[in-house]
């Protein structure tokens, strides 16, 4: 809302410099977007009468009006706020006779929804969308507006068109009430009917667009076709043009939700629609008509014929809201003097009557935002000043419950992953459908957005990997050869809903390049080590088995589980996936993704129990065997465990070798076995016997040959 300061001063005696006026209103909830000088040329019908250079002290202040205050989308509304803040009276041109708005008399109707007078017939067919429709017939001579009027509109951001349209816009800016002028001679049957659009009806609006109307849109039709989209925009056919001699001037109240819906559906936002959809004053239409007709006469553009037609089947009055003195203190934490409360509320246009414990407050219909006590307390607080309310700290009446262990677990994983060299990524929750598709698990389906911003953001991510890979590619394009990223976040599927996952991607060096040499690139077992570390952190024994899936390299991929519960995957990204993101197919990228929800369900919650430290020495034995190539290390371990005594406390593979000296199709594996007893010192003989049993079992079950 662009406010011309001098226009505001016409309505109230607020004589502050413009900068102070701006900050005064800003501290009452009207944010200042900009403050600019007024354009050249006269801005008022008469030069300002006061000495002291009001002209020099003028400005256009652009206020951002919050959605709850449509009454302040007007000079009058902001003037009322300023007058209340400065405790000076408000002088509205339409109140000059000292007549309250609600008492304006209207022509009584023969039937509640139809009036015929002065050659115009007005009918409300759909009163749920149009509770009030007032109109007047005016003889006009179309021409340009006087300079001051055109200048005011221009300064306020409205383009001058002709004297009649300009007057309706002037009243819109001054009072906040939108109006529309029809060329009466172009209305079939000289009728105006507020009704829902009929199926198939169209309207060419003032902006030249031919628009399809839908049956729940309210239109203003003549005897046969729509002539305006009610509250949004008029039609081109009945538009006021230089030859117009007679107009029907509309001043109505439309149901906010209906205007909002229609404006959204048509993608058409206007000065009028933005006011109607927030709620205009249902008791303003006749006042606005009178103000407009007075202005038309004042600038010599025409004169009204006959009376004002007012179709208002169920008049609405102001509401009364109780305000308790005690409640103000209870909500604000400070007391406000009765006199101040009274001054604030009467200044804002409320009728206030004292009661035993406070006030009964009559709320004018322009204040669509005030319906209950808390709303009035906000009015008091706004004008009392938030800065005058003290700062205090609330009493604590209960201890906080213990923290959510799931969040503590995420923190722990973040620590483990950063200390493993991974930086944390945060990616968009929505991704490209083509990027997401390969990562949809088995029977699941992608969740699409209804109206995505773009193809790039079309579906909710089924996995963290598409986002991570996008980030890997981003870094590779920027000369970052070694990339380690992880992410913790929610993923979605139609069947599973929301699911929390942790994932990482790793490409490039295993350890950063150093002048001492020894650069080694990441491989499967580096990545696996990170997954193992996650298992360790959560105290969960992880099991790895061979996996074939669409986006990992077969033979370099593992399914990760805890017992029988599958919790994720690990492996080398298929080269096709890398290429799809502009990465070189030859660059190995290792990824893993684990289901945090499943880990949460499985992770033990009991505290760690400390074990006493060993009291007896351990004995270590190495064994080197040659076995069949496909044999999994895990099976060898199982065999060893199966025959070794309880005193075998650790098995560690320390060398694996293929090639010279080893027969084709076989490999050599060296294992280090550690033995220790909790209650005595083991002898060589004990261990020797165990080793013999181990070797015998390995030979029997896996045809292992000792080297």
Partner 1 sequence: MPDAEEIERLRLEFQAALAAAATDQALRAVRDRFLGRKGGVIASLMKAVAGASPADRPLLGTLANQFKNEIEGALDDRRASLESGRPVAGGLDVTLPGRQVPIGHLHPLTQVRQQVEAIFSRMGYEILEGPEIEDDYHNFEALNMPPEHPARDMQDTFFLGQPVPQRGLGTPGTRVSTRPAPPDRPATLLRTHTSAMQIRYMEAHEPPVRIVAIGKVFRRDNPDLTHTPMFHQFEGLLVDERVTFADLKGTLTAFVREIFAPDIRVMFRPSFFPYTEPSAEMFIGCVFCGGSGCPVCKRTGWLEILGSGMVHPSVLEAVGYDTERYTGFAFGTGIERVAMLKYGVDDIRLFYENDLRFLEQFSF
- What part of residues 14-53 is at the interface with partner 1 (CB under 8 A)? 26-29, 31
Residue 431 is a binding residue for partner 1 (CB under 8 A): no
Closest CA to 136 of 122, 156, 155: 122
Residues with Cβ within 8 Å of 213's Cβ and at least 6 positions away in sequence, in order, are 197, 201, 202, 203, 219, 226, 229
Which residues in the 220-239 window bind partner 1 by CB under 8 A?
none
**Least distance from partner 1 to the Cβ atom of residue 276, Å:** 11
Distance separating alpha carbons of residues 565 and 593, to the nearest angstrom: 15
Distance separating alpha carbons of residues 378 and 82, to the nearest angstrom: 16
Residue 395 is a binding residue for partner 1 (CB under 8 A): yes
Distance separating alpha carbons of residues 310 and 314, to the nearest angstrom: 12
Residue 428 is a binding residue for partner 1 (CB under 8 A): yes
Q: What is the per-residue binding string for partner 1 in 262-291, x denoting contact by CB under 8 A? A: ---------------xx-------------
Residue 495 is a binding residue for partner 1 (CB under 8 A): yes
* E-assigned strand segments in 165-254: 180-183, 191-196, 202-204, 210-212, 218-221, 226-229, 233-234, 246-253
Question: Which of residues 355, 411, 545, 688 is near partner 1 by CB under 8 A?
Answer: 411
Question: Which of residues 63, 254, 312, 422 is near partner 1 by CB under 8 A?
Answer: 422
Question: Which of residues 141, 335, 346, 494 is near partner 1 by CB under 8 A?
Answer: 494
Residue 490 is a binding residue for partner 1 (CB under 8 A): yes
Residue 335 is a binding residue for partner 1 (CB under 8 A): no
**Least distance from partner 1 to the Cβ atom of residue 654, Å:** 22
* Only segment of 38-46, 189-197, 338-346, 479-487 that touches partner 1 (CB under 8 A): 479-487
User: Are the C-beta atoms of residues 106 and 134 closer than 8 Å to each other?
Assistant: yes
Using CB under 8 A as the binding criterion, the count of chain residues that bind partner 1 stands at: 94
Q: Which is nearer to partner 1, 42 or 421 (CB)?
A: 421
Which residues in the 69-98 window bind partner 1 by CB under 8 A?
69
Question: Which of residues 138, 172, 465, 485 is near partner 1 by CB under 8 A?
Answer: 485
Closest CA to 469 of 454, 486, 444: 486
Distance separating alpha carbons of residues 659 and 212, to the nearest angstrom: 79
Distance separating alpha carbons of residues 355 and 399, to the nearest angstrom: 41
SS3 496: coil
Q: In this structure, what token pair is assigned to residue 303? A: 């004169």
Distance separating alpha carbons of residues 518 and 508, to the nearest angstrom: 14
Q: Which is nearer to partner 1, 415 or 652 (CB)?
A: 415
**Least distance from partner 1 to the Cβ atom of residue 86, Å:** 17
Distance separating alpha carbons of residues 365 and 279, to the nearest angstrom: 10
Distance separating alpha carbons of residues 205 and 56, to the nearest angstrom: 41
Residue 564 is a binding residue for partner 1 (CB under 8 A): no
Question: Pairing mode, if any, of strands 423-424 and 459-460?
Answer: unpaired
Distance separating alpha carbons of residues 696 and 690, to the nearest angstrom: 10
Which residues in the 52-71 window bind partner 1 by CB under 8 A?
66-69
**Least distance from partner 1 to the Cβ atom of residue 508, Å:** 11
Q: Which is nearer to partner 1, 264 or 707 (CB)?
A: 264
Q: Which is nearer to partner 1, 265 or 666 (CB)?
A: 265
Residue 520 is a binding residue for partner 1 (CB under 8 A): no
**Least distance from partner 1 to the Cβ atom of residue 232, Å:** 15
Q: Which is nearer to partner 1, 243 or 401 (CB)?
A: 401
User: Are the C-beta atoms of residues 282 and 255 closer than 8 Å to each other?
Assistant: no
Q: In this structure, what token pair is assigned to residue 261? A: 């819906």
Question: Which of residues 396, 606, 610, 685 is near partner 1 by CB under 8 A?
Answer: 396
Which residues in the 344-363 window bind partner 1 by CB under 8 A?
none
User: Are the C-beta atoms of residues 95 and 287 closer than 8 Å to each other?
Assistant: no
Question: Which of residues 423, 565, 633, 681 is near partner 1 by CB under 8 A?
Answer: 423
Question: Which of residues 96, 210, 404, 664 is near partner 1 by CB under 8 A?
Answer: 404
Which residues in the 374-393 window bind partner 1 by CB under 8 A?
374-375, 377-378, 381-382, 386-387, 389-393
């Amino acid at each position: 809302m662009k406010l011309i300061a001098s226009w505001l001063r016409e309505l109230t005696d607020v004589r502050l410099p413009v900068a102070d006026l701006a900050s005064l209103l800003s501290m009452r909830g009207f944010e200042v977007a900009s403050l600019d000088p007024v354009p050249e040329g006269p801005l008022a019908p008469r030069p300002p009468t006061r000495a002291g250079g009001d002209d020099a002290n003028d400005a256009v202040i652009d206020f951002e009006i919050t959605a709850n205050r449509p009454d302040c989308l007007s000079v009058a509304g902001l003037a009322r706020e300023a007058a209340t803040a400065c405790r000076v009276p408000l002088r509205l041109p339409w109140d000059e006779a000292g007549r309250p708005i609600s008492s304006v008399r209207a022509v009584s109707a023969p039937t509640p929804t139809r009036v015929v007078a002065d050659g115009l017939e007005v009918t409300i067919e759909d009163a749920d969308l149009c509770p009030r429709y007032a109109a007047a017939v005016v003889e006009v001579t179309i021409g340009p507006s006087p300079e001051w009027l055109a200048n005011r509109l221009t300064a306020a951001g409205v383009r001058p068109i002709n004297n009649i349209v300009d007057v309706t816009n002037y009243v819109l800016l001054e009072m906040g009430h939108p109006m529309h002028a029809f060329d009466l001679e172009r209305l079939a049957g000289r009728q105006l009917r507020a009704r829902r659009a009929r199926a198939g009806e169209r309207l060419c609006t003032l902006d030249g667009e031919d628009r399809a109307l839908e049956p729940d849109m309210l239109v203003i039709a003549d005897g046969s076709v729509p002539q305006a989209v009610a509250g949004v925009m008029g039609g081109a056919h009945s538009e006021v043009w230089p030859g117009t001699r007679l107009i029907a001037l509309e001043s109505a109240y439309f149901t906010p939700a209906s205007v909002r819906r229609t404006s959204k559906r048509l993608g058409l936002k206007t000065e009028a629609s933005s006011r109607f959809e927030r709620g205009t004053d249902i008791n303003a239409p006749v006042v606005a008509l009178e103000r407009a007709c007075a202005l038309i006469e004042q600038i010599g553009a025409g004169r009204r014929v006959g009376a004002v037609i007012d179709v208002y089947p169920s008049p609405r009055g102001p509401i009364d809201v109780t305000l308790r003195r005690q409640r103000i203190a209870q909500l604000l934490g400070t007391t406000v003097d009765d006199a101040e409360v009274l001054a604030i509320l009467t200044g804002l246009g409320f009728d206030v009557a004292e009661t035993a414990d406070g006030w009964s407050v009559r709320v004018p219909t322009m204040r669509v935002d005030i319906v209950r006590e808390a709303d009035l307390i906000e009015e008091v607080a706004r004008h009392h000043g938030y800065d005058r309310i003290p700062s205090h700290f609330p009493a604590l009446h209960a201890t906080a419950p213990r923290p959510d262990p799931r969040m503590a677990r995420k923190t722990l994983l973040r620590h483990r992953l950063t200390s493993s060299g991974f930086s944390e990524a945060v990616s968009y929750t929505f991704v490209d459908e083509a990027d997401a598709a390969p990562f949809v698990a088995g029977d699941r389906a992608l969740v699409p957005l209804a109206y995505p911003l773009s193809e790039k953001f079309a579906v909710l991510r089924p996995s963290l990997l598409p986002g991570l890979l996008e980030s890997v590619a981003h870094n590779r394009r920027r000369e970052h050869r070694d990339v380690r990223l992880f992410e913790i976040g929610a993923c979605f599927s139609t069947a599973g809903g929301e699911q929390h996952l942790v994932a990482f991607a790793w490409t490039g060096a295993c350890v950063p390049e150093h002048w001492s040499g020894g650069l080694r690139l990441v491989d499967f077992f580096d990545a696996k080590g990170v997954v193992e570390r996650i298992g360790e952190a959560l105290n969960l024994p992880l099991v790895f088995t061979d996996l074939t899936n669409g986006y990992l390299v077969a033979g370099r991929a593992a399914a990760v589980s805890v017992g029988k519960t599958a919790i994720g995957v690990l492996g080398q990204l298929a080269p096709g996936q890398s290429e799809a993101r502009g990465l070189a197919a030859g660059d190995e990228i290792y990824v893993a993704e684990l289901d945090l929800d499943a880990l949460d369900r499985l992770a033990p919650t009991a505290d760690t129990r400390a074990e006493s430290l060993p009291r007896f020495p351990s004995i270590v034995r190495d064994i080197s065997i040659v076995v069949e190539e496909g044999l999994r290390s895990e099976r060898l371990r199982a065999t060893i465990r199966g025959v070794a005594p309880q005193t075998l406390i650790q098995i560690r593979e320390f060398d694996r070798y293929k090639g010279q000296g080893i027969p084709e199709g076989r490999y050599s594996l060296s294992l280090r076995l550690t033995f220790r007893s909790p209650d005595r010192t083991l002898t060589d003989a004990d261990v020797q016997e165990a080793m013999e049993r181990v070797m015998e079992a390995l030979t029997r079950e896996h045809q292992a040959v000792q080297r």
